[in-house]
Amino acid sequence: MQDEYRTVARAGVHEVEINRSRFLCALAPAATEQEAQDFIAAVRKEHATATHNCSAYVIGADAGIQKASDDGEPGGTAGVPMLQMLLRRDMRYVVAVVTRYYGGIKLGAGGLIRAYGGVVGEALDALGTVTRRRFRLATVTVDHQRAGKVQNELRSTGREVRDVRYAESVTIEIGLPDSDVDSFQAWLADVTAGAARFELGGEAYGDA
């Protein structure tokens, strides 16, 4: 499993004009293939009168799902260059749709490849990217008396506190890099004089 991946920071649109043709690149994070397909469908609907709505997406931290569509442009001149740009930038869980409004001047195959790949690259630069790092979910259960101190210590050491639940005792959900698990358990035992309970959970990705 990948230790980290990059994705687009936020959804947005970047527009360029090349030889009178308008190219609008809509980018968005997509957690699943269905989300990517829904986004593509929404952009197609919004730009139903456009000459082409070409698309590409990469799903999975290991880029396990990759799809591209030329939507009527000559084969290999639109969707594939878009997909290649996403992969070249190590982007994951991301979908791109490039809408083209034809301006009357043909670009030729080479021009189309540069245009479609280029506008995706420019859109990534404009919207920004974020790195997500793999970590283990874990829960710390501690009595109310010690909970405040533990939370303060966690935050002051830069640990990610994901959730806090109050009941008879206090349950604090955190995220830890795999390599920190042993040292964290030792630290927790020290801070709480051995009074906290620690349980490891599954894996997830979060901000690096």
| Tens place of pLDDT per residue across the chain (208 aa) | 566 788 999 999 999 999 999 999 999 999 899 999 999 999 999 999 999 999 999 999 889 999 999 999 999 999 999 999 999 999 999 999 999 999 989 999 999 999 999 999 999 999 999 988 777 888 999 999 899 889 888 888 877 788 899 999 999 998 887 778 888 899 999 889 899 999 988 776 666 5
85: left (phi over 0), alpha (psi -120 to 50) or beta: alpha
Structural Rg of the chain based on CA atoms: 23
Class of domain 131-207: alpha beta
The packing angle between helices 181-191 and 144-156, to 10°, is: 130
**pLDDT value for 207:** 61
- For helices 79-88 and 108-127, the axis angle rounded to 10 degrees is 40
Distance of CA 79 to the CA centre of its chain: 20
What gap in Å lies between CA 142 and CA 66, rounded to an integer?
Answer: 44
Helices (H), the chain: 33-46, 79-88, 108-127, 144-156, 181-191
CA distance 56 to 27: 10
The closest alpha carbon to 112, from 126, 124, 98, 123, belongs to 98
Residues, the chain: 208
pLDDT value of position 126? 96
Q: Report the top-level CATH class of 4-127.
A: alpha beta
Angle at 21 between CA 19 and CA 26, to 5 degrees: 130
Q: Roughly how many angstroms between the first and final C-alpha of the chain, as a whole number?
A: 16
Q: Give the model's pLDDT for residue 107.
A: 93
Secondary structure, 3-state, 14-33:
EEEEECCEEEEEEEEECCCH
- pLDDT at residue 162, as a whole number: 85
Looking at the chain, the domain(s) classified CATH 3.30.230.30 span 4-127
What's the pLDDT score for residue 178? Answer: 75
Domain with CATH 3.30.70.240 in the chain: 131-207
Whole-number pLDDT of residue 157: 80
Query: In sequence order, which residues have a C-beta less than 8 Å from that of residue 116 and are 6 or more positions away?
Result: 23, 54, 73, 77, 78, 79, 81, 82, 98
Q: Return the pLDDT at 134.
A: 75
Give the span between the Cα atoms of 115 and 16, in whole angstroms: 9
